[in-house]
Amino acid sequence: MEARQLIKELLKESGITMEVLSKLMGYNSKSTISEMLRINAGVKCGNLYRIADLLGYEVIVRKKKPGKLENGYRRLSFEESAAEELK
2: Cα separation from own chain's centroid: 7
pLDDT at 80: 53
pLDDT at 14: 93
* Average pLDDT per 10 consecutive residues for the chain, totaling 87 residues: 89 93 90 82 85 91 79 70 46
Go through 24-49 and write b for each residue having 16 or more CB atoms within 10 A of its CB, e for each that does not: eeeeeeeeebeebbeeeebbeeeebe
pLDDT at 29: 84
**Domain ranges, residue 38:** 3-86
pLDDT at 84: 47
What is the tally of structural domains in the chain?
1
Distance CA 23, CA 30 (A): 8
The domain that contains 61 carries what CATH number? 1.10.260
Burial bucket for residue 51 (CB in 10 Å: 0-12, 13-18, 19+): buried
What pTM was computed for the model? 0.74
33 touches 27 (CB < 8 A):
yes
Distance CA 75, CA 3 (A): 9
